[in-house]
Structure 1
Amino acid sequence: MKIAINGFGRIGRAILRQILTTERGAGIDVVAINDIAALDICSYLFQYDSTFGPFPHEVTGHDGHLHVMGKRIQMHHQADLTQLDLSGVDVVLECTGVARSSDVAQRGLTAGARKVLISGPSPAAELTCVLGANDALLGDARIVSNASCTTNGTAPLIALLDRLAPIERAHMTTIHCYTNSQPMVDAPRGDFARSRAGALSMVPTTTSASHLVEEVVPHLKGRISGAAVRVPTASVSAIDLVAQLHESQDSATLPTRLKEAIAKSPVLGWTDHPLVSSDLRSRPESLVLAGPELRMIDNRQLRLFGWYDNEWGFSARMIDIARRMAN
C-alpha cells in the first residue's frame, strides 16, 4: 500500500511515527510527504517532539528527502498538490487542515492518487467515516473525511451504547487540551473566549462533534448535544457523556455488559485503574472508558467518562481507514 502525506504538522508527523514504529504501519510505504515548510525544519520537528518525545532513531533531511530508519522519503514543498505526480499512490492523507472546499480536496486525485482521506471535518467529502460507528458505509468512496478526534471517540461509544441500551437523549462534553487554533497569549479570534491564552485558562467553547456525531449516527439526530471546554494541557482529552436511556436498565449488570462489548470493539478500550490524562499519552484507541467514573441514577441515567489521545489515537484511525480505502 502506497500513501502520500500532504501536510506534515501534528497529525502528519504522528502518522509517520506510527507507520515507522508500530505494527499498524506494516505493509505501508510512504512514498512522498508534502509541506510548505523547509526540509530542515520538517526533519527537526519530526526528530524532536514536545508531546511524544524524541524519535528513537536518527532523522536527517538532505538531498530533497527525509532519511529515517533506512528509508528515503521524497519531500516536496508545493502549496498546490496538483503540481506533483502522485501516480501509483493509493491514498493521499490530506493533513493540511484546509481541505474544506471541493477544489482543494480533489487535488490529490488530480495529481494521480486513487483516493484522498481528510484529517478532519470537510463538507467536500463524499462520506464522513468513523471506525466503529459507520465504517460499513465506506464502500469505494474516493474522498473521505476521518471526522474529528472527538467524533472518533464519541460516535463509536454512542453507537455501541445504543445497541446495548437504547438512548433517549444524551449530552457530551469534551474536556479538550488546547490546540493550534488558540493563541499562546491573548489575541483576536472570531470566538471571543477562544481569543484568550490557551495555556492559562479553561475556555468554554463549541465542538464540531455536535453535528458530526449526528451525521455518523443519523438515527439519533436531534437527540445528541455537545459542548467543549479547552483546558491548559498539551495532550490527551476526555469525553464526559450523560445519557438518558429509553428504558430502565439493571445498574448491577449494565457496566459488565458494556465492558464486555467494549472488549470486542476495534477502537474502544476500558480501564479499571484511577488514571489521569498523562497516563493515556500515545494510546491508539479512539476512547478508553474509565470504569471507576461510571455512574447510574434511577437505572435510566448513565454517566460515562473516557480518555483519548486526540493526536495519537486520531492518527491511528487515519492509518486504519486509509488501509480500508486502499483495499
Structure 2
Amino acid sequence: MTVNDDSFTNWKIREEIAESMIPLIGKLHRERDVTVLLHSRSLVNKSVVSILKTHRFARQIAGAELSVTETMPFLEALTALDLGPSQIDLGMLATMYKADERGLSVAEFTAEAVAGATGANKIERREPRDVVLYGFGRIGRLVARLLIEKAGSGNGLRLRAIVVRGGGAQDIVKRASLLRRDSIHGQFQGTITVDEDTSTIVANGNAIKVIYADDPAHVDYTEYGIRDAILIDNTGKWRDREGLSKHLRPGIEKVVLTAPGKGDVPNIVHGVNHDTVKPDEQILSCASCTTNAIVPPLKAMDDEYGVLRGHVETVHSFTNDQNLLDNYHKSERRGRSAPLNMVITETGAASAVAKALPDLKAKISGSSIRVPVPDVSIAILNLQLAREATREEVHDYLREVSLTSPLKRQIDFITAPDAVSSDFIGSRHASIVDAGALKVDGDNAILYLWYDNEFGYSCQVVRVVQHVSGVEYPTFPAMAV
C-alpha cells in the first residue's frame, strides 16, 4: 500500500468516527444541556469536516494534531455519566489524561475530571431567561444569531423581542432578510419565517416579537409576556446610567450596553472582570470590541511579566459610523469615504483599560486607523515589561494561556505564516495572538492581536449576559486560576 493509500484510509477512518460523534454530541446538548468543546471550540451542530478541522487546529496551539480516535473514547465515557448542565472540553480531557500517571481507564479518569457536573454536584436545568434586543444593527443581528443558536443548548437565554423604530412598508420582512443573509458572516444557520400580522419573526422555532418604538418609555414589556428580562442596547444612543435607566421598564430587570459605558457604568470584559459584577447591578457595559481584544492579553502579560507602560495602535475595519462617500460628519476625518481611505481616528479602548483592569498601574495610550476592510481588525500592543524576556519564552507562554488558562475563551493563538484578516471572520475569541508577528527584545514586547470586531465581540457580549443571568454553566475539566 502506498503512502497516499495510507493517508486516504486514515482519513476515511477518522471521517467515520467524526460522523459517529455527531449524534452523541447532539444528544448531550439537547437532553442534558452539555456543550462539548475541543480546546474551547464548540463541537455542537458542526459538520464532519468541521469536527476534523477543529481537531487538526489543535496542532497550532498544542504542537501536535489531536485525532478523533483520541477524543472519541472520552465522548463515549461522557454519555454514560449522569451529567448536569455544563461545558466539557474533550481536548483538555485528552491532554490531561496523557499526563496522568495513575493508570486509570478513560472512563475512570473522565468520571473523576467531570465529577463537579455529575450526581449530587450537578446543576439543575433552569428555566430560560428572557432577552430583549434594543436595536437590530450589525451587533444586534449577530447577537440574535448567537442567542438563537444557543436557545436549546442549556445556556438558558431566550430571545423574546427586538425593539426598533418603524421603517415603513415591509419593515419586518426586510429586517428578517438582513438576519437571514449577511454579506460578511454568510447565511443564517437554520430557517426564518415572518408573520406580518403578529409582527413576529420565527427563527429555528424561536418566536421573536418585533416591537416598534421611538423611545424606551413607550414600551411595557409585560404586555408581551416578557418578565425579568435582560435588555441588550445595541444602539449606543445612551451610554451613561441616567440614559440607560430609561430601559428599566416593566418586564426588564437588567440593561447591558454594547458600547463603552460612561461615568459609573461598569465596563465588563468577560474573562477578566466579569466576576466583579454585583448581583444587584442593573446597568453595565460590555466596553468596546477593541477593549475586549486588548484587555485579556494585557492581563496575561501583566500577570507573568508585569507591564510598566504600553501603547495600542488599532488598524480597524470601517464601520457604519463612517460615510461611504465624502460627506458631512460631526467627527473629524470620518466624513471622508470609508472604502477609499485610511482614516486616522481616536479609540477609547486605552482609557477603558483602567475600568476593566483597575489593578494595572501601567499607563496605556492608544490611537486608531480605520482601513478599507468591512470586518476584522488588528491591535498592535507595544509593552514595556517589568522584566526582560525572550521571544521564545513569551511565544510559549501565550500559547499555553490560549490552551489551558481561564482566558482560553478570550485568547486564541495562531502560527500560520500566511494568516491575513479575512481568516478570522467568525472567530469567537476576543483576540487571536499572531505568533509569527510577535516581537520581543529584552523588556519590550510587541503583540499583534487579530479580532473579529463584530462576531468575536458579540460572543463576549453573550458571555456577559449569560453570567449576569446566572445561566453561565461551568467548564470541565476545571482550570487552575
Normalised TM-score (structure 2): 0.65
2:452 corresponds to which of 309, 312, 322: 309
Q: 1:152-180: per-residue Cα shift (whole Å, max 9, x none)?
A: 00111111110011011111111100001
Q: 2:181 — aligned with what?
A: 48
Q: Secondary structure at the match of 1:301?
A: strand
| Alpha-carbon distance in structure 2 between the residues aligned to 1:132 and 1:12 | 22
| Alpha-carbon distance in structure 1 between the residues aligned to 2:336 and 2:154 | 38
| Alpha-carbon distance in structure 1 between the residues aligned to 2:295 and 2:240 | 24
Matched, 1:149 2:289: yes
| Alpha-carbon distance in structure 2 between the residues aligned to 1:129 and 1:92 | 16
| Alpha-carbon distance in structure 2 between the residues aligned to 1:159 and 1:220 | 8
Calculate percent identity across the aligned residue pairs: 28
Q: 1:298-322: per-residue Cα shift (whole Å, max 9, x none)?
A: x211111011111101111111101
Relative distance call for 1:303 and 1:273 in structure 2 (3 A) is same
- Check the 8 A contact 1:47/1:55 in 2, yes or no: yes
Residue identity opposite 1:108 in structure 2: H
Q: 1:29 — aligned with what?
A: 158
| Alpha-carbon distance in structure 2 between the residues aligned to 1:51 and 1:211 | 30
- Check the 8 A contact 1:82/1:111 in 2, yes or no: no
Q: Secondary structure at the match of 2:324?
A: coil
Q: 1:103-129: per-residue Cα shift (whole Å, max 9, x none)?
A: 430122123311110010121663111
CA drift at 1:25: 7.6
Residue identity opposite 1:168 in structure 2: L
| Alpha-carbon distance in structure 2 between the residues aligned to 1:98 and 1:25 | 32
Matched, 1:117 2:260: no
- Name the structure, 1 or 2, with higher relative contact order (CA <8 Å, separation 6+): 1
| Alpha-carbon distance in structure 2 between the residues aligned to 1:25 and 1:188 | 47
**Higher gyration radius (CA):** 2
Matched, 1:227 2:373: no
| Alpha-carbon distance in structure 2 between the residues aligned to 1:83 and 1:279 | 43
- Check the 8 A contact 1:170/1:241 in 2, yes or no: yes
Q: Secondary structure at the match of 2:339?
A: coil
Relative distance call for 1:233 and 1:251 in structure 2 (3 A) is closer
Q: 1:276 — aligned with what?
A: 420
CA drift at 1:222: 5.8
Q: 1:96 — aligned with what?
A: 235
- Check the 8 A contact 1:125/1:145 in 2, yes or no: no
2:209 corresponds to which of 74, 78, 101: 74
1:18 corresponds to which of 146, 149, 153: 146
- Check the 8 A contact 2:315/2:368 in 1, yes or no: yes
CA drift at 1:213: 1.2
Q: State the number of aligned residues.
A: 326
- Check the 8 A contact 2:340/2:372 in 1, yes or no: yes
| Alpha-carbon distance in structure 2 between the residues aligned to 1:147 and 1:171 | 18
CA drift at 1:239: 0.8
Relative distance call for 1:41 and 1:125 in structure 2 (3 A) is farther
CA drift at 1:24: 7.3
Residue identity opposite 2:288 in structure 1: S
TM alignment of 1:126-275, pairs within 5 A: 126-140=265-279, 141-220=281-360, 223-263=363-403, 264=405, 265=407, 266-274=409-417, 275=419
In angstroms, what is the RMSD of aligned CA positions?
A: 1.8
Residue identity opposite 2:420 in structure 1: V
Q: Secondary structure at the match of 2:319?
A: coil
Q: 1:259-313: per-residue Cα shift (whole Å, max 9, x none)?
A: 212322131111111311111001110001111111111x211111011111101
Matched, 1:3 2:136: no
| Alpha-carbon distance in structure 1 between the residues aligned to 2:262 and 2:360 | 20
**Any stretches of 5+ residues in structure 1 without a counterpart?**
none
Relative distance call for 1:229 and 1:106 in structure 2 (3 A) is same
CA drift at 1:326: 1.1
Moved over 6 A (4+): none
Matched, 1:86 2:214: no
| Alpha-carbon distance in structure 2 between the residues aligned to 1:172 and 1:24 | 37
Q: Secondary structure at the match of 1:248?
A: strand
Residue identity opposite 2:294 in structure 1: T
Q: 2:42 — aligned with what?
A: none
- Check the 8 A contact 2:378/2:450 in 1, yes or no: yes
